[in-house]
Structure 1
Amino acid sequence: MKNISLIGIAIFCILLVSACGIDNTMYNAKKYFRLAQERPLNANGKPVAQSVADYTKTIQKCGVILTERKDSQDADDALFLMAKALYYKGNSAFQAKDQFDNLIKAFPYSPFVPEAYIYLAKVNREINRTKEAKALLEEFIRKPQYRDNHPQALLTLADFELKDKDFVRAQYWLEKIISEYPKTKEFAEAYFLFGKNYYLQKDYAKSLHEFKSLVAARRIGKDLKMDGNYYIALNLYYMKDYQNGYRVIRKLINNEYRTDKIAPARVLKARYLLALRDYKDADQEMDYIVRTYPRTAASAEAQYIKAQYQYYTQGLAVDAIASYNRVRSEFNASDFAAVSQIKATALTHIIKPSVVNVEQNLQQFTDYQFQAADYFVSPLELPDSALVRYDMVLKQPLQFRATLDSLQQKMQVIDRNLDSLRALKNTPGTSKGIDSMKVASDSTDLMVLHTTTEIDSLADEVDLADTLQTDVAEPAVNPDLEIAKIEAQKEQIQTRITSLENSLTLFQNELIPFCYFAKGSIYKNKLSNLSAVDSLYALMLRDYPDDKYTISLNQMRKGEAIRLIDKMRVKSETMLDTALGYAETMPDSMLIMLNELTEETAFGTGMKADFRLGWYYTFEAPDTLQAKEYFNRVLADPNSGDYGLTLRRFYDGKRFLFSNSPLFADSVTVIDSVRTDSLFIADSLAVADSLNVQDSTAVNSDDTSEIPPPEETPELDTLTGEQDPKDIIKQEELPTE
């Protein structure tokens, strides 16, 4: 009996020690978690290294409890604490999600389940499951058993909506907290987010009013009041009340103690200093931020502000490019990283020296100017500079025209000189050379201009005939060599004239209307100068009434959706539709209209017309020779698309991929007769109709010299069976618009 008692006491002691050990482990886990929570975040809003270490210790302690005493009364507490430690530690979102899920499933009646649902929604959002996160919270606030946690869920929902910029729904959830839960701790935070909601909507006056009310309230904590003061300063900055805003931000920096809050406050101070034109102090403040808070969102923003100051205020594009490029290296996830990269690219393009011969490289010149104009519009937000770039393009035709006029006058001089030389050549005694005569080279050595802006002066041009002088001592001049030399120079100038004429045509048909349209877009959308838009439209209506850009500018003026409509394209497509509509009732008219369209290459209607004509001469009025001509053009078109794919199912470019069809019997017979009778029939397979009749011409068989070689019989595939070729491609399988 005594032994039994001793054994019982021993077991009790063991259990007691074990329980104490578990309690001590749980105590330590909570202690490490509390220490990690109390430490301030770094400038990026992330836990510092020591906090991460404490979260790791918390996870380890909780793991011991769940392993050794998974059925203890502290198991749900340990599991919840572990899940929170994983969440706040960072980079463990999926593990945290699993633990919150396990808590809800394993301990459905645990007091930690309501908070677990809210944390689970936050984790879902972190892993880009936004819809699941919102749905989870909306379902949660409909459960009456979790009413005490509804304010926390509503606040989280409002925060989600603000991040998604759904301001109406965010305001709905916030008003619900303020009106239904005024005595909860979430009330003050809801009040704060209410003001932030107005700020994000850029309603700075209302936002300022809400934050001033928040700061003046009694039940608001110190930290939340400092956050409110930051937004007061932010609103005053965007309202351009720089003096009052600067006083608020200076006071806030003196009182702020949170590392993750001081850095953005200093960035705002730098913005104020720039706005107040205190450039020296602003530059020092930005350098201080980069030096004190390196590799943070604040240092990246400071670099961005510095780049803006360097370019827009100092005009130092090269320095600005360097600062823009440092934004991403400071903090890759910065909100300013993407726009900084774009601006650096834009400035690099703009400051790049454009050493280009416009006359010889017009495409390169216009591409450069149009790209620069686009960059000035966005992201640089300098629309006036964009207008200057378009004006530079618009001035170019005047320079081309002046150069062209000069070259044409020079060509007249050259023609007179050539006439003089040819006349001298035909003079008796000059066939082998021009003795005692010297041809002055001033009028014949015509150099090609190197720039489009150079205008030749013809004041000193002297006719060749006036420069001939008698000089017995000079050697003879060969007129043939002089003529060849001048003709070579004439050819060079003529090539240049042709190039200039082509460029002027391009300006007239495309570049000038486009520049007017682009300028109109800037005047309307960036400068709100509607009178300038109307003036441009009047100019385009006078000079380019049917141009697609004129039509589009008018649509822009009226606030309509802009569609670049080319009237020639519409006309071509309408004609094609009309022709196809005649297929059953007036096939002759269809053939005439389609043949007119085959010359069109710009809009694709010519290729479609070729396909339909080839189809007609293949299946409706069999003539393999004509069908091949049309089909080959379709196959040669790189943009034939579905038409080419359909065609290759029965024609490979040389032969049709079907045989034994009565549809082709007549064609083969006629071709054989050509070989037998040695006759050439220009269009033996054409189907004559009331609109297009072409008679075959018989050639005398005795006159073999006039007989062209016989046409080879089209090679037909050896597919077996009696399948009709029209069954291979059904009518409904034809490509459609």
Structure 2
Amino acid sequence: MKYVFLISITLVTLQCTAYLNTFYNAEQAFLQANTEHMKIMRHYPDSILTTPSASISTNYERAIEKSLKVINDFQKNQKWKDDALFLIAKSYFYKRSMPKAILRFKELQQQHPNSPFIPETYVYLGKAYIEEGNLSKAEEVISYAIEKYPQLDKDQKLSMLLVEIAIRRQGNAQAISLLEEAYKTVKNEERRIDLVLRLSELYIQLKQYNKAIAILKNAPRKKELPEQSYRLDRALLNCFMQIDSLNAALKQTDLMLAKKLYISHFKEIELKKGIILGLLGRYDDAIAIFEKITAGVDSTTSISDTTGIVSEALYELALIYQKKKAAFDEARKYYNLAAQSSDTLIAIPASKRLSALDILKNLRSAPPDSAEDNNFKIAELFRFELDEPDSAYNQYIAMATGNTGDIVPKSICAAAFVMRENGKDTAKADSLFRVLIEKYPSTDYCKIAQQQLNLPVTYKTREDSALDAFKAAEVLLYEKGEIKAATQAFFNVYKTYSDLPIAPKSLYVAGWLSDDYLQKNKTAKQLYERVCDRFPNSVYCTDYAKPRLKVVMDTLQALAGKKGGNEVSRTQSETDASSSDSTANLNDSMEESSEIDDKGNELDSSSTEPKTRRNYAKYPPADPSAN
């Protein structure tokens, strides 16, 4: 009996040891994962949660596995079941498996209402609902927690979640109000800095820079909190730059560079200082700083620049050499290095500017006989590719004063637009547009100038006249119902403006009306053939005239068959003749001898409609492409 008792004691002890060991392993796996995870999250202080790495996720999964074993394999021992459930729920949360996390937190609340972990479950549930985008539920849970467990909000942990909800709802004003209230009561210095940073970010989003500057200046800087202190000074620097207080911004960079606390950020601060010096017009000083940042850089180090600081410095150097020094070879060298950066925000514009400088070099070395065309292309490069409006303007004006012909008004017009773009000099632009109206009244540029100055347009281009003639033909068709006159009018548009894009459309409409309305099959056939002879690649040939031409030719042959063999032969010979010269029999006036319609009725050449079809629909769609 004694031995049985000892064995029982031993078994119970072993079972308890296994139980404790399993839970211990679960807890250690979670602690290891969460410690590494928190190190990553310190770099994203404004985020509720960041995605864990694969190795961290593996440890969270191990914690879940061991905790489930505690619950399932040791059901008689309930002592640490709430611990295991809480560990499972937290592991799912940090793995970003929010539905599973929410389910487990609720299970803990329902099955273990007296667990010491219950208050904290509401914090996690609120965060999980925010991450899921269920903001109403998150607000409900967090508000309940603040009321039920006010101690949880002693350092504004829950209040900051309400701020996050307001921000995600685009309610910046509400978020600011919540932050301002929280700031009044917070005592922890680290929390105060966090609140200032969030509040200043919201002020900056609303462009309330002076409010942001006021709270950033007064915020505490702590040696034991170097990253937060740096973020405060960086935000203050950015505010000074946003309000163009460049001297204050420059002073701020010097103050930041004097703090050894920020030594890991010195290159970033120097980059900002170089940009500010460039904005102040101190280009040589800016170059010196950028060259210091990029010292010893080649294509290999440019590619491996993960911070983007070196790449941006290279790009800024290139911009100064291009735009301020006109040293294009130096600019090309730095654009080439920046273009090899892994940062696409730098590499792509650098590549474009490098290409533009190469084109500029080729244009300037081209033979003199193409100088006029090349000079205009050079001006376009400065204007559109190299972001040098002053150089573009000077190039256009030089071309306007040193040439004759169409290039003069063309250059004046382009120069006017350069001055008008971005409100650069609207008075000068208006003056140039008036020169076009006064000196070049019979050009397209006069019309453009009148439109830009909101003046009545007195000059019409051939395109305008062609469009007016087409619209007049439509009036005859739609408003007056004069089909024959409209058909002639559409044909006249083609005849007068055969070199313009409206020509194939006009010619097709004339054929279409002859076909569908006037029943003039031979005329329609000749017009359709002319569409394809003159405009073979036009949609009015490929998609419309060709299919209709086949139908018309079949109709002509069928009608000719009713007249007998001789008529068939005559029709066939006419068809053959038209094949060799489809427009030989088409007069400019489109007047023809009478024809036979599809019912064998003879058409009166003076009539606008077939005699037996007075109720035929008069108004087809204005644009035949609608068919």
TM over 0.5: yes
Letter in 2 for 1:735: S
1:610 is displaced (CA, Å) by 1.2
Question: 3-state SS of the aligned residue for 1:585?
Answer: coil
Q: Is 1:520 aligned to 2:526, yes or no?
A: no
Counterpart residue number, 1:59: 60
Match of 1:384 in 2: 390
What are the equivalent positions in structure 2 for 1:350-389 lying under 5 Å apart? Answer: 350-357=360-367, 359=369, 366-376=376-386, 380=387, 382-389=388-395
**What is the match of residue 252 of structure 2?**
248
**Given the alignment, which residue of 573, 576, 582 partners 2:470?**
576
Q: How big is the shift at 1:518?
A: 2.2
Deviation at 1:245, TM superposition (A): 3.9
The residue aligned with 1:126 is none
Partner SS state of residue 335, structure 2: helix
C-alpha change, 1:604 and 1:240, in structure 2 (3 Å) is closer
Does residue 101 (structure 1) correspond to residue 99 (structure 2)? The answer is yes
Partners in 1 of 2:474 and 2:564 — Cα distance?
25
Aligned to 2:172, which of 147, 170, 181? 170
Deviation of 1:547 after TM superposition, in Å, equals: 4.7
Q: What corresponds to 1:264 in structure 2? A: 268
Q: Which residue of 2 aligns with 1:287?
A: 294
Cα separation, 2, equivalents of 1:332 and 1:30: 36
Write the distance in 1 (CA, Å) between the matches of 2:212 and 2:564.
Answer: 85
Matched, 1:210 2:215: yes
1:137 aligns with 2:135: yes
1:316-335 residue pairs with structure 2 within 5 A?
Answer: 316-327=327-338, 329-333=340-344, 335=345
2:160 match: 152
1:524/1:530 contact within 8 Å kept: yes
Which string of whole-angstrom CA distances, capped at 9 and with x for unpartnered residues, describes residues 570-612 of structure 1? 4322322332343473233223312211132455332122112
Corresponding residue for residue 473 of structure 1 = none
Structure showing greater relative contact order (alpha-carbon pairs closer than 8 Å, 6 or more residues apart): 1
Structure 2 residue aligned with 1:299: 310
> 2: CA distance between counterparts of 1:684 and 1:367?
43
Pick aligned residue for 2:238 from 234, 238, 241: 234
Question: Residues 617 and 69 (structure 1 numbering): CA distance in 2 closer, same or farther, change over 3 Å?
Answer: same
The match for 1:73 among 82, 106, 118 is: 82
Instruction: Give the match for residue 115 of structure 2.
Output: none
Partner of 1:34: 35
Match of 1:345? 355
Q: Tell me: CA distance 1:514–1:313, structure 2 relative to 1, closer, same or farther (3 Å).
A: closer
Identify the match of residue 310 of structure 1 among 321, 331, 334.
Answer: 321
Matched AA of 2:214: H
**Partner residue in 1 for 2:625:** 735
Contact 1:383 1:527 in 2 (8 A): no
Structure 1: how far apart are the matches of 2:243 and 2:486? Answer: 69
* 1:22 CA drift (Å): 1.9
1:201 and 1:623 mapped to 2: Cα distance? 71
Check the 8 A contact 2:88/2:104 in 1, yes or no: no
After superposition, the C-alpha distances for 1:218-250 in whole angstroms (9 at most, x for unaligned) are 9x9764343222222333355565565444334
Q: Secondary structure at the match of 1:356?
A: coil
Match of 1:537 in 2: 433
Structure 2 residue aligned with 1:449: none
Distance 2:592 2:338 in 1: 76
Q: Deviations over 1:296-316 (max 9, x none)?
A: 222322322333343345443
How far did residue 386 of structure 1 move? 0.8
Give distance in 2, aligned partners of 1:676 and 1:55. Answer: 89
Contact 1:614 1:631 in 2 (8 A): yes
AA aligned opposite 1:189: D
1:336 is paired with a residue whose SS is: helix
Q: Percent identity?
A: 11
Alignment of 1:719-730 (within 5 A): none
Specify whether residues 59 and 586 from structure 1 end up closer, same or farther in structure 2 by C-alpha distance, changes over 3 A only: same
Structure 2 CA distance for aligned equivalents of residues 516 and 154 of structure 1: 59
What is the alpha-carbon distance in structure 2 between the residues aligned to residue 601 and residue 69 of structure 1?
89
Secondary structure at 1:651's aligned position in 2?
Answer: helix
Q: Distance in 1 between matches of 2:92 and 2:296?
A: 35
CA distance, structure 1, for counterparts of residue 428 and residue 583 of structure 2: 64
C-alpha distance in structure 2 between counterparts of 1:667 and 1:119, whole Å: 90
Where in structure 2 are there 5+ consecutive unaligned residues? 73-80, 109-119, 147-152, 595-612
**Partner residue in 1 for 2:545:** 647
Q: Is the 8 A contact 2:23 2:84 kept in 1?
A: no
The verdict on how the C-alpha distance between 1:694 and 1:639 changes in structure 2, with shifts beyond 3 A counting, is: closer
Q: 1:631 to 1:11 in 2, by over 3 A?
A: farther
Q: Distance in 2 between matches of 1:573 and 1:52?
A: 65
Q: Distance in 2 between matches of 1:304 and 1:371?
A: 19
Q: Deviations over 1:473-492 (max 9, x none)?
A: xxxxxxxxxxxxxxxxxxxx
CA drift of 1:67 comes to 5.9
TM-superposition CA deviations, 1:289-332 (whole Å, max 9, x none): 97899432223223223333433454432232332343354442
Alpha-carbon contact 2:507-2:527 (below 8 Å) kept: yes
- Equivalent-residue separation in structure 1 for 2:314 and 2:573 (angstroms): 89
Residue 441 of structure 1: aligned partner: none
Distance in 2 of aligned mates of 1:66 and 1:601: 85
Distance apart, 1:37 and its partner CA = 3.0
Superimposed CA distance per residue, residues 109-163 of structure 1 (whole angstroms, 9 cap, x where no aligned partner): 55446546646756xxxxxxxxxx7x533653355436566633344457668xx
Counterpart amino acid of residue 235 in structure 1: C
Shift of 1:385: 0.2
Aligned match for 1:627, one of 524, 547, 552: 524
In structure 2, distance between residues paired with 1:202 and 1:557: 34
Q: Name the structure 2 match of 1:89.
A: none
What is the CA–CA distance in structure 1 between the aligned matches of 2:271 and 2:55, rounded to whole Å?
31
2:285 to 278, 285, 288: 278
Counterpart of 1:356, as a letter, is A
Q: Give 2:294's aligned amino acid.
A: D
Q: 1:315 to 1:519 in 2, by over 3 A?
A: closer
How far did residue 77 of structure 1 move?
Answer: 4.1
Alignment CA distance shift 1:665-1:189 (3 Å): farther
What secondary structure sits across from 1:598 in the alignment?
A: helix
Distance in 2 between the 1:302 and 1:676 partners? 80
Query: Are 1:307 and 1:321, in contact at CA under 8 Å, matched by a contact in 2?
Result: yes
1:176 alignment partner AA: L
TM-score, normalised on structure 1? 0.61
Partner of 1:614: 511
Deviation per CA, 1:244-272, whole angstroms, max 9, x where unpaired? Answer: 54443344345465787554334324445
Given the superposition, is the C-alpha separation of residues 55 and 622 from structure 1 closer, same or farther in structure 2, using an over 3 Å criterion?
A: same
Provide the rounded CA distance (Å) in 1 between the counterparts of 2:563 and 2:584: 9
1:627 Cα offset (Å): 1.9
Q: For 2:361 and 2:208, locate their aligned partners in 1 and report how far apart those are by CA, in whole Å.
A: 38
Aligned AA (1:535): S
For the Cα contact (< 8 Å) 1:192–1:228, is it kept in 2?
A: yes
Name the CA distance, whole Å, in 1 between partners of 2:555 and 2:263: 82
Question: Cα RMSD over matched residues?
Answer: 5.0
Change (3 A) 1:358 1:272: closer
Higher share in helix:
2
3-state SS in 2 of match to 1:73 = helix
SS at match of 1:524: helix
Amino acid in the other structure paired with 2:359: H
User: For residue 608 of structure 1, what is the amino acid of its counterpart?
Assistant: K
Residue 14 of structure 1, CA deviation: 2.0
CA deviations 1:50-108 (Å, max 9, x no partner) are: x969736643642542563465534554445545665xxxxxxxxx3xx2232123443
Q: Which has the larger radius of gyration?
A: 1
Kept in 2, the 8 Å contact 1:36–1:55? The answer is yes
